[in-house]
Homo-oligomer: A and B are copies of this chain.
Amino acid sequence: MLKPGTKLLAVDPSLVASGFSVLQVGDRSTISMLECSYLPLSSSKTVGDRVALFHDFFANKLHQWQITDLALETPFLGKNAQNFLKLGYLRGVLLLLAAKGQLPVHEFTPTQVKQAVTGTGGASKEQVAHMILKLFPRMVKPEKHDVTDAVAVALCALWHQKRLV
């Protein structure tokens, strides 16, 4: 059974647009969505300033929703090593916030997330978005896949927790 009262924040960090979602476990293991959106960061700002804005935004989200758990997707090195390093900056900030708040961090690979949400580890971002919109019919189709990706990570973390208990 999912632990009632769990409020999980999942973040898909990026120096351009970070998708995030907040899911809540209610009585009888119901899962409801409290928020899903993204944080845009202007490329006219320095990387340091964007890291600081990202920190303040998610510090505020943790406080606003009284978050109990954090979920992230394991990143893999792509073509650009410097972008991978910059992704590390944002993950470092999230790990810092989680450690300060003593929140458990749940991490899943992209394959685990796609498998959990669509039933196949090789699903496309469109398939993930399609399933998320089916599972949350009142959700407005977001402009960016970053948002549906973040919801998928959050759902994967909650369902995984369910299987473990």
Contact = CB atoms under 8 A, between A and B. Distances in A.
Interface in A52-100: 52, 55, 75-77, 81, 84-93, 95-96, 98-100
26 contacts: A47-B95, A48-B105, A49-B99, A51-B92, A51-B95, A55-B96, A75-B85, A76-B81, A77-B77, A77-B81, A77-B84, A81-B84, A84-B85, A85-B85, A85-B88, A87-B88, A88-B88, A88-B91, A89-B89, A89-B91, A91-B92, A92-B92, A92-B93, A93-B93, A93-B96, A96-B96
Interface string A21-52: 00000000000000000000000001111011
Given A51-B96, A88-B89, 20 more contacts: A46-B99, A47-B95, A48-B96, A48-B99, A49-B99, A52-B95, A52-B96, A52-B99, A55-B96, A77-B81, A84-B85, A85-B87, A85-B91, A87-B88, A88-B92, A89-B92, A89-B95, A92-B93, A93-B93, A96-B96
A46, A93, A96 — which one has the most chain B CB atoms within 10 A of its CB? A96
Interface of A: 46-49, 51-52, 55, 75-77, 81, 84-93, 95-96, 98-100, 105
A93 B55 CA distance: 10
Contacts of A89: 88-89, 91-92, 95
